Amino acid sequence: MNENASLFFVDRHVDSHIKEKKAFIEYSSKQKFITYADLYKESSKLRHFFSKFKINREDRVIILMQDVISYPVIFWGCLKSGVVPVLLNTLLSSEVVNEIINNSRAKAVFISSRLLSSFENSVKENASIKHIIEVGTKKSNYINFDEEIKKCSFQDTIKCTKDEIAFWLYSSGSTGQPKGVKHVHGSLEYTYKTYGKQVLKIHQNDIIFSVAKLFFAYGLGNAMTFPMSVGATTILLPERPTPEVVSTLLNKFNVTTFFAVPTIFSAILDFRKSNNFDGFKNLKISVSAGEALPENIGKKWYELTSTHILDGIGSTEMLHIFLSNKVDDIEYGTTGIAVPGYELKLLDENNNIINNDEIGELLVKGESSADGYWNMRDKSRKTFEGEWTRTGDKYIRNKNGKFVYCGRTDDMFKVSGIWVSPFEVEQAILNHDEVLESAVVPEIDHEGLVKSKAFIILKTEQNQKEKLKEIEKTIKEIVKEKIGLWKYPRSIEFVKTLPKTATGKIQRFKLRK
């Protein structure tokens, strides 16, 4: 029996009624597109392509590309060939890219023409890389994918089991070194059958757009596997997703399902305040993940668009969302309940299961869990405990059975013996009209006691000391009123930027130094 994931996502569509339907449309000046039939034909040439360059089964290749039509062709072509694609974030520094290539021992790299200027030196000087394959308009003397694939012939999909390694992702490294996360073939279909089918309820007639790029676990499901499961159409955006571009795209392509992260929803809300807005005419539902969605953003989005945001949480290790609100059961300020097919539990510091209204670390059980970290045995053992995976997130389960996000395990701290959630404090601070973003960390005061400190970015830079003192005082009063007297930040520092990962997550550990 052949359990190669590409059979479900690609091959089965070639004889169906959707074979001539557009699978992907690239939002660019040329408006390129590819049908399901052509995706099958082109991806089936990769096995011949790899054989020409002596790239063999289980060899690893880097995909360092923008979201373009060739991306799904190369990704599925790898899986059909038994070659393992390693999906890399194009926002990483060249130093980190070089480190990951060394770590993965990849044999080749597929790189977008437009990214050559940023990463060429890192790639060509790396001893592991035997072939550099340029994707897009030819700008170099490297192998050009578009030219070379035309010379290749069709070959059948390689046989494998659902438990064989299909692809790698690298974690964002919000607390340190990126980790190579190995995923198997069977996990892709499992995320569709659980979240995509039972929570999102994605349909063949849907038109999908995801701000999160294909190199993210979140984006891979949003823009690739979920729509391909049902024969829907995905809009790909190669460039940076600014509020103006995203707003135009949603209406231009009649997008029905929109995936983003809280900062994007917030940016679009701010953009629409100062621009005429007639609504997103075909939008049915939006999804937020990557970080917890502040309650006020969800409510403001509904006021603006008359559509809801489904807030959920997933991870690179679990491949996609395993805890989520549902279309008919949304409670803003919570992350909802377990996605069907997953089990959740909260543990205290002694690994005891805890009751409602107590903070604990979230563990998840489900078949999409990664096979482990590459060459990190100790970290694999600490994260993957049999059938259970530690998420590193702290949650409370409220009286309604909904999970409320408190923060990362490494970010939580106690004040006066009581747990403080940085996210909860940050969410309260956002109620101040002049605050754009904040990050809360513990700070030791002059008596050696732990207190909270807030680093805050204002929407408009403010230089007047008296005005800043007034803002600081008001923020403290808002926090006391909203979430409790002991939780307000004892000190506040106004800053212009916050340290973040390439995925946009705040690196609080850098602020604690």
The confidence band for 173, taking pLDDT boundaries of 50, 70 and 90, is low
The confidence band for 171, taking pLDDT boundaries of 50, 70 and 90, is confident
Instruction: Please give the backbone phi and psi of residue 339, each rounded to the nearest 5 degrees, phi first.
Output: -70, 135
Tell me what pLDDT residue 158 has: 98
Percent of the chain with pLDDT over 70: 98
Q: Are residues 51 and 84 in the same domain?
A: yes
pLDDT at 91 over 80: yes
Backbone angle region of 256, left / alpha / beta, with phi > 0 → left and psi within -120 to 50 → alpha: alpha
486: domain CATH number?
3.30.300.30
Give 124 or 312, the one with higher predicted confidence: 312
Tell me what pLDDT residue 214 has: 98
Alpha helices in 341-499 (DSSP H): 377-383, 422-429, 465-483
Is 221 a domain residue?
yes
Residues 151-167: pLDDT tens digits?
A: 999 999 999 999 999 99
Q: Are residues 489 and 393 in the same domain?
A: no
Alpha helices in 32-144 (DSSP H): 36-43, 46-52, 70-81, 94-104, 116-124
Q: Are residues 151 and 117 in the same domain?
A: yes
Is 402 a domain residue?
no
The confidence band for 198, taking pLDDT boundaries of 50, 70 and 90, is very high
Q: Are residues 356 and 425 in the same domain?
A: no
Residues 500-509: pLDDT tens digits?
A: 877 677 888 8
Q: Are residues 207 and 259 in the same domain?
A: yes
Tokens 């039509």 map to which residue?
69
Residues 391-407: pLDDT tens digits?
A: 999 999 999 999 999 88
Residues 228-239: pLDDT tens digits?
A: 999 999 999 999
Q: Encoding tokens for residue 512?
A: 């604690």
Q: Are residues 388 and 442 in the same domain?
A: no
Q: Residue 204 sits in which domain range?
A: 5-397
pLDDT at 414 over 80: no
Name the pairing type of β-strands 418-420 and 413-415.
antiparallel
CA distance 71 to 84: 14
Is 56 a domain residue?
yes
Q: Are residues 417 and 297 in the same domain?
A: no
**For the residues of 382-419, what is the DSSP string, one character each?**
HHEETTEEEEEEEEEE-TTS-EEEEEETTT-EEETTEE
16: domain CATH number?
3.40.50.12780
Q: What is the DSSP letter of 343?
A: E
Which of 363, 397, 431 is a domain's end point? 397
Q: Are residues 324 and 467 in the same domain?
A: no
CA distance 48 to 123: 24
CA distance 386 to 271: 46
Q: What are the CA-CA distances from residue 122 to residues 111, 149, 375, 431, 508 (Å)?
A: 12, 25, 22, 44, 29
Residues 442-464: pLDDT tens digits?
A: 988 776 778 889 999 998 888 88
Which of 397, 426, 450 is a domain's end point? 397
Is 407 a domain residue?
no
CA distance 346 to 10: 38
Percent of the chain with pLDDT over 90: 76
The confidence band for 421, taking pLDDT boundaries of 50, 70 and 90, is confident
> For the purposes of burial, counting CB atoms within 10 Å of the CB of 416, is it exposed (0-12), middle (13-18) or buried (19 or more)?
exposed
Is 361 a domain residue?
yes
Q: Are residues 374 and 466 in the same domain?
A: no
Tell me what pLDDT residue 420 has: 82
Q: What is the DSSP letter of 500?
A: B
Tell me what pLDDT residue 208 has: 98
Rg (CA), the chain: 23
Q: Are residues 434 and 465 in the same domain?
A: yes
Q: Are residues 316 and 219 in the same domain?
A: yes
> For the purposes of burial, counting CB atoms within 10 Å of the CB of 29, is it exposed (0-12), middle (13-18) or buried (19 or more)?
exposed
Q: Are residues 365 and 468 in the same domain?
A: no
CA distance 317 to 367: 11
**For the residues of 44-64, what is the DSSP string, one character each?**
TTHHHHHHHTT--TT-EEEEE
Over residues 22-32, mean pLDDT: 93
| Mean pLDDT score across all residues of the chain | 93
Is 103 a domain residue?
yes
Is 286 a domain residue?
yes
Partners of 33 in beta bridges: 25
The confidence band for 8, taking pLDDT boundaries of 50, 70 and 90, is very high
Is 406 a domain residue?
no
CA atoms within 13 A of residue 119's CA, in its CB half-sphere = 31
- 320: Cα separation from own chain's centroid: 8
Give 178 or 170, the one with higher predicted confidence: 170
Which of 368, 397, 426 is a domain's end point? 397
- Per the structure, how many domains does the chain have? 2
